[in-house]
Amino acid sequence: MAQLIDGKALSAKVLQQVASEVASLSAEHGIKPMLAVVLVGEDPASQIYVRNKMKRASEVGIGSREYVLDAGITQDELAQLIDALNNDADVHGILVQLPLPAQLDEDTVIESVHPDKDVDGFHPLNVGALAAGSDTVVPCTPQGCMIMLRQIHSDLSGKHAVVIGRSNIVGKPMAMLLLQANCTVTIAHSHTQGIESLCRQADIVIAAVGCRELVDADWVKPGATVIDVGINAIEIDGTRKLVGDVAFDAVSQVAGAISPVPGGVGPMTIACLLLNTTGAVKRQLPRTFDLASGTVNKPIRSYCYVRS
């Protein structure tokens, strides 16, 4: 039987780290991190995600403000709100819950969030920095997957990782992070041929598709590590249940380690969002002079950012 990678237990450790960072920010700088969460419309899944994020934020001492906007809001109206949040010194992180209603252009919205307040790591400047291997904000879900992988592999160097899915929020940044960890990375997607045999060669499989139990036991090399990012809602005997992209019971018989759904990547994603929020505060700290060392502590990065 595969070792279970318990995202719930691991996320509790990450949240402890966030809580201690929040305490340091308060003690050393008198700052309470503040996350602004923007929700457009009444998508029930988005409402649940937002509620969970705000609940966890409050548990670790991060303040949060929710902005609920009508589904029919215009691009300009949303831009005005984001502009105000960008210029609000009390707000350190801005999260716009995706997906957005069809009349809104997601790329424009993502670009309108100041890169230093981008806690999702979706802004093109942050995406570019990640691709270049620079120190930057890392998208929450792939970041959570990396923490999970490091529980199993102290050294990822030379491992062959197959990432199934090439979205901007999971697949692509996941592949970048694995590459930075010196893995050999294959990205598979809906047009990939022979996906089963590719997966069978992998030491690590990351499934981020949104297709119920796509990865079966005969896709997995004995002893491989399997991380299931997928969330698929199904109904069994009138009861709603969440399942992943991996056939958990069957793959558990073959894999060396496996993450479950629920209780795997989901809680890690939220914990990493809060980690990114304290990271955003640090990026926005003013320049200080350290008398002891005689050095100037700069904010990690700063941008001249003009939105027309």
Residues with a known catalytic role: 53, 97, 120
Burial class (CB in 10 A: 0-12, 13-18, 19+), 232: middle
Sign of CA dihedral 249, 46, 172, 131: negative
Residue in the structure block whose two tokens are 């305490």: 23
- Among residues 94, 95, 149, 209, which is the contact residue for ligand NAD, using CB under 6 A? 209
Q: What is the DSSP string of 22-72?
A: HHHHHHHH----EEEEEEES--HHHHHHHHHHHHHHHHTT-EEEEEEE-TT
Closer of 264 and 284 to ligand NAD (Cβ): 264
Q: Are 265 and 144 in contact (CB under 8 A)?
A: yes
Which range, of 61-69, 131-139, 207-215, 285-293, touches ligand NAD by CB under 6 A? 207-215
- Among residues 189, 241, 298, 307, which is the contact residue for ligand NAD, using CB under 6 A? 189
Within a 10 A sphere around the Cβ of 103, how many other Cβ atoms?
A: 11
Closer of 2 and 219 to ligand NAD (Cβ): 219
- Among residues 61, 93, 256, 266, which is the contact residue for ligand NAD, using CB under 6 A? 266
Closer of 34 and 214 to ligand NAD (Cβ): 214
Within a 10 A sphere around the Cβ of 49, how many other Cβ atoms?
A: 19
**Considering only residues 246-265, where is the footprint of ligand NAD by CB under 6 A?**
265
Which range, of 22-30, 61-69, 209-217, 286-294, touches ligand NAD by CB under 6 A? 209-217
Q: Which of 90, 126, 82 is nearest to 106 (CA)?
A: 82
Strands 232-236 and 3-4: unpaired
**Considering only residues 127-186, where is the footprint of ligand NAD by CB under 6 A?**
141, 164-167, 169-171
Q: Closest distance between ligand NAD and the C-beta of residue 271, in Å?
A: 10
Strands 239-243 and 232-236: antiparallel
- Among residues 210, 216, 282, 300, which is the contact residue for ligand NAD, using CB under 6 A? 210
Contact residues: ligand NAD, CB under 6 A:
141, 164-167, 169-171, 188-190, 195, 208-211, 214, 229-232, 265-266, 269
